[in-house]
Amino acid sequence: MADVVSFRKEEPAGLLRVERYEPILRITLNNPPANALSIAVMEALADALDAVAADEAIRIVVLASTGKVFSAGHDLKEMTARRSDADGGRAFFEKTMRMAADLMLKIAALPQPVVAEIDGLATAAGCQLVASCDLAICTDTSTFCTPGVNIGLFCSTPMVAVTRAAHPKQAMEMLLTGETIDASTAKDFGLVNRIVPQQYLRQVVDKYAAVIASKSPQALRIGKAAMRAQAGLPLADAYDVAVATMVDNMFADDAQEGIGAFLDKRMPEWKKP
């Protein structure tokens, strides 16, 4: 039985559903019908991620959603309503975009891997959210797009995450055309890792998460940090980061236990937080 908790005090049963399954935490966006990333949703998700970062017993996070839309991105109605502000909405727009950027940075900086579980449309900042996660698994009917150009608004902030997940030219294709791509194309582009039939999505994600959660907690944290640290560096600099990480990793308790277990031909017993 899952323990259901909320990290959003003002919304105890609303914007997010957070469920704990031993070392696996599921965070489900619950802002139907579009699961828009309103200020309130982003605040709730940021609070949840802060709580995860402080809990070493959590080894992996699954980010899912309710309904037919994974996330439609920013709440355009919420943003448009602020055009009547004295500054035309500039301060609110800056707050919204900065909050979204900080949210994506939290996912990148989170010690635990984050797996996006997508069933439906991920568009604009919703696509950015998928691209920001470490791994992504979607249904064969899921779709993805960065449609800002269709409404006169280039998806500049989603661009940052999408161009780091997909090949630059393929990412640029999405950004320039605004067209929706299917799951197969998203996998070809590099936005998602795996595609599964809808009826098996939760089962596959749970198994995927359980496999990762069974690995060394120390190695998972060290590995994610190293992956982020070397990404984008010149080749020689990337190897400098990797060499330093491997040397430090050799002194970790789990590395000593894991190597010993391998040599002794037994299962390792990872150190608990």
This prediction has a pTM of 0.91
pLDDT of the residue at 271:
83
* Residues 111, 229 within the same domain: no
Residue 5 lies in a domain: no
82: confidence class by pLDDT, cuts 50, 70, 90: very high
Judgement on whether residues 148 and 256 belong to the same structural domain of the protein: no
Is 200 within the bounds of a domain?
yes
Q: What CATH number is attached to the domain comprising 46?
A: 3.90.226.10
The average pLDDT across 239-260 equals 96
- Whether 140 and 238 map to the same domain: the answer is no
Overall average pLDDT of the 42-70 stretch? 96
Domain coverage including residue 252:
216-264
Give residue 265's pLDDT: 96
Of 200, 131, 137, nearest in space to 166 by CA: 131
Which pLDDT score, from 0 to 100, does residue 33 have? 93
CATH number assigned to the domain comprising residue 255: 1.10.12
Whether 2 is covered by a domain: the verdict is no
The pLDDT tens digits of the residues spanning 34-54 come to: 999 999 999 999 999 999 999
Over residues 170-195, the mean pLDDT reads 97
Same domain, 256 and 222: yes
- Tens digits of residue pLDDT in 138-154: 999 999 999 999 999 99
In this prediction, residue 190 carries a pLDDT of: 96
pLDDT recorded at residue 272: 79
Structural domains in the chain (count): 2
What average pLDDT does this structure show over 228-244? 95
User: Taking the C-alpha atoms of 131, 134, 138 and 144 in order, what is their torsion angle to the nearest 10 degrees?
Assistant: 0
Q: How confident is the model at residue 4 (pLDDT cuts 50, 70, 90)?
A: very low
Mean pLDDT of the 82-93 span = 96
